Amino acid sequence: MLAIDPTKKISFQRPIGNGDLVIVYERHDVMKAVKVCEGSELQNRFGVFKHSDWIGKPFGSKVLSNKGGFVYLLAPTPELWTLVLSHRTQILYIADISFVVSFLEVIPGCLVLESGTGSGSLTTSLARAVSPTGHVYTFDFHEQRAASAREDFEKTGLSSLITVGVRDIQGQGFPDEYCGAADSVFLDLPQPWLAIPSAAKMLKQDGVLCSFSPCIEQVQRSCETLNTSFTGDNISSPSSLPCKRRQRSKEGSNGVEKSGSLGVMARPCAEARGHTGYLTFARLKCLQ
């Protein structure tokens, strides 16, 4: 039976402790991240809140100020962290994140590569998805952004699940040490087509790639590169949203795709609402 490292287990089923990060909820549009420090205070329009009163209470507790006002102390889940984090770059929100994590098929134990890290909004959700036995390796070319992301992951208790690297993935590609080891790869780059050949080498067979782009021209260029990088001994199906796995048939009857066929297939999905960009997915397949 696989042993689970307790330091990598994400759980808020415990009392709030000194040094913990909590999301202080005033109302649905007013929240802030606060590090609990015994002896410190939080002052807002509801009064003064002593941190010492928070220690020992469970996440989700309602706490009172000296004036009788109240706030709620919520756990720093990826969803809430996305709403309160510092925006060093444009971030992905829940609508996009939920699709990405789902269609990349990220589950506990997966190894995920990401570029670029940015503000780390998606990275936190990826880390929770791979916990407790997987890992996320995320890269950003900007050294200060990478350092700030490391600090944030320390605050949210995810540093054991995330490794942040400083690297120009568009120019250098992913490190060779991950060749053939990644279950999933995510790209959020201005020129993702430059990183796709490297991403193809990183993926395991049947691994999935996702590229997030705000412009359709980026999608078109990426699909062209996918068609050349994933052909030969491999096959991919890039699309605006991932296609469901198809049953392979040697006869290819009843409209079922023949084994060994090559090319790019793209189709829109009307189910997506409220997204901020295009999601292009591709699966690495081996011809049998």
Instruction: Residue 161: name the closest of 135, 182, 133, 125 by CA.
Output: 135
d(CA 218, CA 154): 34
- Cβ neighbours around 3 below 10 Å, total: 7
Distance of CA 80 to the CA centre of its chain: 14
Q: How far apart are CA 259 and CA 288, in angstroms?
A: 8
Q: Give the whole-angstrom CA distance, residue 281 versus residue 241.
A: 6
State phi, psi for 235 to the nearest 5 degrees.
-135, 145
d(CA 87, CA 120): 9
Strands 203-213 and 162-166: unpaired
Please enumerate, by residue number, every residue annotated as part of a binding site: 119-122, 140, 168, 188
C-alpha to C-alpha distance for 77 and 202, rounded to whole angstroms: 29
Q: What are the beta bridge partners of residue 111?
A: 135
Q: Which residues are annotated as a binding site for S-adenosyl-L-methionine?
A: 119-122, 140, 168, 188
| 261-284: burial string, b at 16+ Cβ within 10 Å, e else | eeebeeeeeeeeeeeebbbbbbbb
